Structure 1
Amino acid sequence: MSRAPLTVGIIANPASGRDVRRLTANAGLFSSTDKVSVIQRLLAAFGATGVDRVLMPTDMTGIAAAVLKNSHGRQARSSHWPALEFLDLTLRQSVEDTRLAARWMAERGVALIAVLGGDGTHKAVAAEVGDIPLLTLSTGTNNAFPELREATSAGLAGGLFVSGRIPTGIALRRNKRLLVREPSRGLCEMALVDVAVSSLPFVGARAISRGTDLAEVFVTFAEPQSIGISALCGLWFPVSRQAPGGAWMRLDARSPEALLVPLAPGLLQGCGVLAAGSLEPGVAHRLCLASGTLALDGEREIEFNAHDRPTVTLDAGGPLSIDVNATLAHAAQQRLLAIGREHPQHPLNLESQDTLENKNVDTADR
């Protein structure tokens, strides 16, 4: 009996790395061409580790079209890319495109989803796929959840895991999350990194670019090297991804203590710190403001007023993600990437392939 094809998904947010923070800070641009290059590196790694098929959504920026075109080229053949299948979405040019693609992949039973985007993209995918592991790749602006990593190495880790060569306990990490609830509105939203309470009354352009607009911050983790809202706690009251708890901070420009924080690439601002402390799992926290907006993972999404009673709660029910470092360390210890003569990337096979291609070129020139 033949086995089912080993299938993974790739979701690349066309809009990530292109938001309003290019106007308010010195954030770089992550172009569609850059994303195509990342995807092709993933495909090479997936092909080398036994993945049979990759699912991708279509888009309006040419990412999927370029990958499809390049799949017929010499590089794709020599790297033994997996077969590609594209979902032709009815595109809305919104986060709903990401959510729909994630639901479609979950229904198709993918073993893993590689996500190219920022914190918001990863949050949108995580909300739709349950315990399907995510291979996180940073292509956004203020990225804390997806770690900066070379796509080839990440793809090797993902491919080794889905092909069954890495124990789940080593390869997978369960992430924390913050739940924002407002019972009277039936509201329950998730953040993977931070929830910021702002005095700004409207969602507006979503991004927060001034520290004086922040009154309170809750984080699942905060690392000193972070950029963005979580950097507030990261540089004052750091907490690791692995720690069971999170952290909180209250801010006021009139506070006698102030902290210099990189709120965005190239954007450093002083923020007044009133207090900070540990955030315990399972405890619902009321907000310090009666009205304003809530930013989830860096973008304002929820407006609230004196009639609302939103709370923020930390729990351990976030998505599963591939621990690339642990996976590749295990692969090295067990020599899992040692290959035999039958592997297409064995040096003797590459030598034979080069000889055959050179003969074909000579024949074509005659």
Structure 2
Amino acid sequence: MNIMPGPVGIIINPNSGTDARRLTSNAQFMDSIQKLRIIKSVIMGLISTGINDIAVMPDYLGIAYNLIRDLKIEGVDLSIIDIDPEGDFNDTKNSIKIFRKENSPLIILLGGDGTIRAAAEESIDIPYLPLSTGTNNTIPYLVEGTVAGLAAGYFINYNIKEGLCNLNKIDIYINKEFKSIALVDVSTTNYKYKGTGIIDLSMIIDSVVIYGKPTSIGLASIGGLIYDMGCNSSKFVYINFNGNKYKIKAIASPGVVKNIDINYYKIVDVGNKILMEKSFFIEADGERLYPVDYEDEVISYVNPNGPKILDINKIMEFISKNQLFKESL
């Protein structure tokens, strides 16, 4: 029995692009109006390909409600799902549960690396299209919204398998107990308190980096300079900062370049476990997440079975190569 696909899911993180790094760097402030403009463009791209069933996560700032108010298009079912927004990552997770139940073919995420991590914590079964509205975004695309919507619609309509890429993930274990996942990096740090939750690279003791390019920002830029890691990467990088054998120039955040000391690094095959250094706080994907005692055992397992995300470039190349943009008269 064929199951009819449900609505394309949309999650807009109201908190992305607003943290304290606006006080310590040149990171832009991503307000609700900008996010509303981006998602309107995404939806217009989707609609142009014939997608007419779209559901949106509500948020405490009312971005979703303003979207519904502004976009009233005949023949398009644009709705808000039924959850009570709390203003944290539980909103994303609860929305994923609903989208899974409704058999959504794709979920579009407006946020940063933390947003797609929260989604992947709940499900790796649904393809994601992450769009950047955060700060040091490594995985989400910085792309014009209409292009993203067009690629998403083509992906659904033509079932473009070539347009999917597989992310690795890090399974985090503390004293052999599974805690959570990361999609970019896991680090031990010298922080003793959560504080603002953001990370100064000079406070990191050691890191496992699984996604990063030489053009990335933050810890991913260091890992990406050592080894270029993207979707389907068979390798990851372990970096130990507890020494000064090497010095590397890294973009810590927009407009902030720092010289970072490195003790040593190694390139490792995906599928391996790393025993992390002793520390006080565990960082994942740019945020302080878990306090630990100095004697706790922290293991990062780099798992190849992570979530799948759309590759916008490959989708549009497929459309071009197969001349699917043309309509016969």
TM-score w.r.t. the length of structure 2 is 0.94
- Find the counterpart in structure 2 of residue 357 from structure 1: none
| 1:232-243 matched pairs, under 5 angstroms | 232-243=222-233
1:36 aligns with 2:28: no
User: How many equivalent residue pairs?
Assistant: 328
Identity of aligned residues (%): 27
User: Which amino acid in structure 1 is aligned with residue 309 of structure 2?
Assistant: S
C-alpha displacement of 1:257:
2.3
1:249 aligns with 2:249: no
Gaps of 5+ in 1: 342-366
1:320 aligns with 2:314: no
C-alpha displacement of 1:202:
2.1
Whether the aligned pair in 2 keeps the contact of 1:6 and 1:51 (CA below 8 Å) is no
| 1:152-301 matched pairs, under 5 angstroms | 152-163=146-157, 165-168=158-161, 170-184=162-176, 186-209=177-200, 211-252=201-242, 255-288=244-277, 290-301=278-289
CA distance in 2, matches of 1:301, 1:220: 18
C-alpha displacement of 1:178:
1.1
Instruction: Describe the superposition over 1:275-296 as per-residue Cα deviations: whole angstroms up to 9, x where unpaired.
Output: 11112222211112x2311111
1:138 aligns with 2:142: no
CA distance in 2, matches of 1:23, 1:166: 44
Instruction: Describe the superposition over 1:83-130 as per-residue Cα deviations: whole angstroms up to 9, x where unpaired.
Output: 111024222221111111121111111000000000000111122233
1:330 aligns with 2:318: yes
Partner SS, residue 178 of structure 1: strand
C-alpha displacement of 1:177:
1.0
Give the direction of change, closer, same or farther, for the CA distance of 1:88–1:166 in structure 2 (3 Å limit).
Answer: closer
Partner SS, residue 155 of structure 1: helix
C-alpha displacement of 1:167:
3.2
User: Which amino acid in structure 2 is aligned with residue 60 of structure 1?
Assistant: Y
Give the direction of change, closer, same or farther, for the CA distance of 1:3–1:248 in structure 2 (3 Å limit).
Answer: closer
User: Which amino acid in structure 2 is aligned with residue 308 of structure 1?
Assistant: D
Higher helix proportion, which one? Answer: 1
- Find the counterpart in structure 1 of residue 80 from structure 2: 86
CA distance in 1, matches of 2:271, 2:292: 22
Whether the aligned pair in 2 keeps the contact of 1:220 and 1:241 (CA below 8 Å) is no
Instruction: Describe the superposition over 1:109-161 as per-residue Cα deviations: whole angstroms up to 9, x where unpaired.
Output: 10000000000001111222331100111110010011211221111111112
- Find the counterpart in structure 2 of residue 104 from structure 1: 98
Whether the aligned pair in 2 keeps the contact of 1:6 and 1:52 (CA below 8 Å) is no
Gaps of 5+ in 2: none
User: Which amino acid in structure 2 is aligned with residue 313 of structure 1?
Assistant: Y
C-alpha displacement of 1:340:
4.6
Instruction: Describe the superposition over 1:243-266 as per-residue Cα deviations: whole angstroms up to 9, x where unpaired.
Output: 2111111113x5142112111111
C-alpha displacement of 1:6:
5.3
Whether the aligned pair in 2 keeps the contact of 1:49 and 1:156 (CA below 8 Å) is yes
